[in-house]
Amino acid sequence: MIKKRTLPELIAELRTNENIVNWYEMQPEEARTRPFPESVDSRITAALERRGIARLYTHQEEAYRLAAGGENIVAVTPTASGKTLCYNLPVLQAIAKDDTSRALYLFPTKALAQDQMSELNEIIKEMGIDIKSFTYDGDTSPTIRQIVRKAGHIVITNPDMLHSAILPHHTKWVSLFENLKYIVVDELHTYRGVFGSHVANVIRRLRRICRFYGSNPVFICTSATIANPKELAEQLTGSPMRLIDNNGAPRGRKHFVFYNPPIVNVPLNIRKSATVEVNHLAKEFLRNKIQTIVFARSRVRVEIILSHIQELVKNEIGSKSIRGYRGGYLPKQRREIERGLRDGEILGVVSTNALELGVDIGQLQVCVMTGYPGSIASTWQQAGRAGRRHGEALIIMVASSTPIDQYIVQNPEYFFDRTPESARINPENLIILVDHLRCAAYELPFKETEEFGPLDVTDILEYLQEERVLHRNGDTFYWANQSFPASEISLRSASQENVVIVDQSNVAAVKIIGEMDRFSAMTLLHDEAIYLHEGVQYQVEKLDWEHKKAYVREVDVEYYTDANLAVNLKVLEIDRTRSRGRTAVHYGDVAVNMIPTIFKKIKLTTFENIGSGPIHLPEEELHTSATWLELTEPDPELGTKTLEQLLLGIANVMQHIVPVLVMCDRNDIHVAAQIKAAQSGLPTIFIYDHYPGGIGLAEDVFKRFDEVKDAARRLIQKCPCKDGCPSCIGTEIEGIDGKRKSVQLLSLL
């Protein structure tokens, strides 16, 4: 039998690997601590001491001091720095002092909420104080619900549940709302974009109800490192915040390595696939029994890597000890995987950014990222999954050939020296605001003078009155409608209707194996699509669009599918314009029509195209805000064909750069190029928010357009390819001198 190698040995070996382009070493750090403040109940300190906590880290102590003094705080802490004590300590202290005190914990997902409850209950048990903490989510049984409402000191839930089950039934929660001392918002940084904009409005509703019951709770937020934690927390909670960022937790030595796959086609600058490289790297760690997490950027990618790795090590490790993890798995399955990782039973996990969040899976030794995760903040979050308090940890980012990946590995200082991105929300998005005003009016009547965020909402209330949703009497707007508004509004996506995935492989035992939002389903669950779930391939036999069901059957094929989406844009209104010489940049409202056209079958091993087919689905329409660049006097010498290629190339670069600059999910913002835009007949590049009504991303792009433009130009210039490659403007097109002309075009803007 071959001797197993240790992590330090493997690290030493990796140092000589020629594909490593940057090696960054983070030195170990000592802990900085302070004693427990005197005011802390002795039963709490005793319980913590028994758990090996004799002193507080500096950030924990500061959090306690400020929160107990009635200040709203946002604590920024890296993974595994004991952030939960930042809120548990003040909360437990408040309840130990006064049994009527109540606290509400908000976690972005059910999984995190359940984790938190088990951790909290362990401490409470040791304290010997009768404090009841409960999770309240869709899985809570009706009998338990009654108890939680009446007697729960700490109610742990998620924003969706708060929105649809707690706030519209607030009269059942009198004892919670009358005595609410603290509202804890964990994983603050996840509340951005569409979701964050919704949650900010849910919190407005929550505060309104607290005011009605006469309570004025303190907010305690915790966040991963982002550029604007204080601003985000203030926007989200509508309250002034104190920032805590003096992390006092210790850290072991960490190696952060950039790995660029070798070039296999020099003229076209085509590199070896990142997926293939990741498979081999991960295999090496796993066969030496080193616990490893692999991050991939899409659900499909997760499944592909999972099946490859399982295949590579199948003779050495059982396939059950390497698992996939992503949204769409059923909760029970996920709990089982988390537990397996904590107790070491599961050796490797391949995950989407679902595990970026604070789900407790213990600390692993190695983290491998398949491509740049899309933002600096996200990268640090994923990197935080590897690293124990003592001993070494290794993080490898394997670059893909996309422009932004190549830009990052070739400019490591961009990543290591820059502050992470800002998280942006736009709670004033009209559709979101109107939806939550309806919910708010359902919950409590609106006075004309009442505030709901910074905007004057009287106009909207009057509009809802005309729509016969509200009824006005004197200075008060009352709910006057038969519906239950919260059930019509989903916080997570533009459409509430998810597509349910039904496995009918076994006719006698048809079962639901997952679900997917409507927009993703257009391109991932169309007829004949190959859908991967836990490494198993399924083919979609029928997508029943009307009833939102996809019927799948297990298959064993050598390919996966990739769908094309045709997009059409129409300008509805121009709000702002900046003209400069031969170009103009506009910001305004657009209508986007989307329709999936065809899908391609791509061979798993070689990634070559082996067939295609049509997709028949109805068109979807989206009204949103956009920023667009118009060439008012295009150079006639370029020729239409060439110009079109240049625009497509620049759009490709921008699609990668913009989400990084404005910090949003790739799916939140889209870029499209048109050689003859419908409204002007001019060559145009559109950058639009992928959400009805827009969420402020395109507006941000409008303000920072020069930054976007410069980043695009630098990226193209710095790319080592000869004249265009998939890492910048797309594949080279013979004879148009695309790279030089693109740079020229961008310089003219």
Partner 1 sequence: MSSLREKLSRLKGLSSGAEKEARPVEEAPAAPPALESSEPEDGGAALETAVQAAAAAISETTVQATSQLTDQAAAQATDQATDQANANADTPAVSGVAPDGFLHPAFKKLGIVEESNAFGAFLLRRIEYPLEHRHGIYPLGALVDYAACLKPVAYRQNQARLDSEGQERMTPRKKKKLSVKDAYRLPLPEPEDTGKEPGAIEPGRLLFFDTETTGLGVGVGNVPFMIGFGYYDEGRARIVVEQTLIRHQGEEKAMLQYLLERMNGRTHLVTYNGRTFDWPVLTSRFILNGWRPNGTEPYHLDFLHPSRALWRNTLESCKLSRIEAERLGIERHEDVPGSLAPELYVRYLNDGDASHLEGVYLHNEQDVLTLVTLAAHFGALLADDPANEIAVPQAAEELYRTAAWLELHGRTEKSERLFSELAKRGDAHAERWLLPAADRYKKLGRYEQAVELWERAARKAEDAVVPSIAAHVELAMHYEHRNRNYRLAADYAERALELTCRLPVFGRENPKRREERDALEHRLNRLRRKSERG
Return the number of the residue (7 or 200) whose C-beta is nearest partner 1. Answer: 200
Closest CA to 95 of 36, 50, 41: 41
Binding-site string for partner 1 from residue 25 to residue 54, where x marks contact by CB under 8 A and - marks none: ------------------------------
Return the number of the residue (117 or 440) whose C-beta is nearest partner 1. Answer: 440
Question: What residues have CB less than 8 Å from 104, skipping those under 6 apart?
Answer: 154, 155, 157, 162, 176, 180, 182, 183, 184, 206, 217
Both tokens of 661, joined, read: 């600059």
Region of 155-163, 224-232, 434-442, 545-553 interacting with partner 1 (CB under 8 A): 434-442
Region of 133-141, 433-441, 550-558, 730-738 interacting with partner 1 (CB under 8 A): 433-441
Partnered with residue 394 across adjacent β-strands are: 255, 366
Torsion on CA atoms 734, 738, 740, 746, rounded to nearest 10? 170
Return the number of the residue (282 or 592) whose C-beta is nearest partner 1. Answer: 592
184 CB neighbour count, 10 Å cutoff: 25
Region of 309-317, 349-357, 457-465, 679-687 interacting with partner 1 (CB under 8 A): 457-465
Binding residue for partner 1, selected from 19, 495, 505, 612, defined by CB under 8 A: 495
Binding-site string for partner 1 from residue 184 to residue 223, where x marks contact by CB under 8 A and - marks none: ------------------------------x---------
Provide the minimum distance between the beta carbon of 139 and partner 1 in the complex, in angstroms, as a whole number: 16
Binding residue for partner 1, selected from 572, 610, 678, 748, defined by CB under 8 A: 572
Contacting partner 1 within 507-526 (CB under 8 A): 508
Provide the minimum distance between the beta carbon of 468 and partner 1 in the complex, in angstroms, as a whole number: 6
DSSP 416: H
Closest CA to 513 of 541, 548, 551, 545: 551
DSSP code per residue over 360-422: ----BSEEEEES--SSHHHHHHHHTTB--SSS-EEEEEE--SSHHHHHHHH-HHHHHSSPPPP
Q: Is 171 in the site for partner 1 (CB under 8 A)?
A: yes
Q: Is 443 in the site for partner 1 (CB under 8 A)?
A: yes
Give the separation between CA 538 and CA 339, rounded to whole angstroms: 27
Return the number of the residue (343 or 466) whose C-beta is nearest partner 1. Answer: 466
Q: Is 444 in the site for partner 1 (CB under 8 A)?
A: yes
Provide the minimum distance between the beta carbon of 546 and partner 1 in the complex, in angstroms, as a whole number: 16
Q: Is 640 in the site for partner 1 (CB under 8 A)?
A: no
Provide the minimum distance between the beta carbon of 165 and partner 1 in the complex, in angstroms, as a whole number: 10
Q: Is 452 in the site for partner 1 (CB under 8 A)?
A: no
3-class DSSP assignment, residue 726:
coil
Closest CA to 532 of 508, 510, 501, 563: 501
Binding residue for partner 1, selected from 589, 699, 723, 732, defined by CB under 8 A: 589
Return the number of the residue (15 or 172) whose C-beta is nearest partner 1. Answer: 172
Q: Which residue has the tokens 């709910």?
A: 479
Give the separation between CA 110 and CA 156, rounded to whole angstroms: 9
Return the number of the residue (171 or 747) whose C-beta is nearest partner 1. Answer: 171
Q: Is 468 in the site for partner 1 (CB under 8 A)?
A: yes
Binding residue for partner 1, selected from 122, 488, 544, 619, defined by CB under 8 A: 488
Q: Is 487 in the site for partner 1 (CB under 8 A)?
A: yes
**Displacement of CA 709 from its chain's centroid (Å):** 25
* Whether the Cβ atoms of residue 600 and residue 618 lie closer than 8 Å to each other: no
Give the separation between CA 219 and CA 236, rounded to whole angstroms: 11
Bridge pairing between strands 609-614 and 583-603: antiparallel
Rg (CA), the chain: 27
Binding-site string for partner 1 from residue 65 to residue 104, where x marks contact by CB under 8 A and - marks none: -----------------------------------x----
Binding residue for partner 1, selected from 219, 479, 551, 628, defined by CB under 8 A: 479
Give the separation between CA 693 and CA 122, rounded to whole angstroms: 45
Both tokens of 233, joined, read: 């927390």
Closest CA to 584 of 636, 633, 639, 625: 633
731 CB neighbour count, 10 Å cutoff: 14
Q: Is 459 in the site for partner 1 (CB under 8 A)?
A: yes
Closest CA to 311 of 283, 288, 332: 283
Q: Is 467 in the site for partner 1 (CB under 8 A)?
A: yes
Provide the minimum distance between the beta carbon of 499 and partner 1 in the complex, in angstroms, as a whole number: 17
List interacting residues with partner 1 (CB under 8 A).
100, 168-172, 174, 178, 214, 430-431, 434-435, 438, 441-445, 455, 459-460, 463-464, 467-469, 471-474, 476, 478-489, 494-496, 508, 572-573, 575-576, 589, 621, 623, 692-693
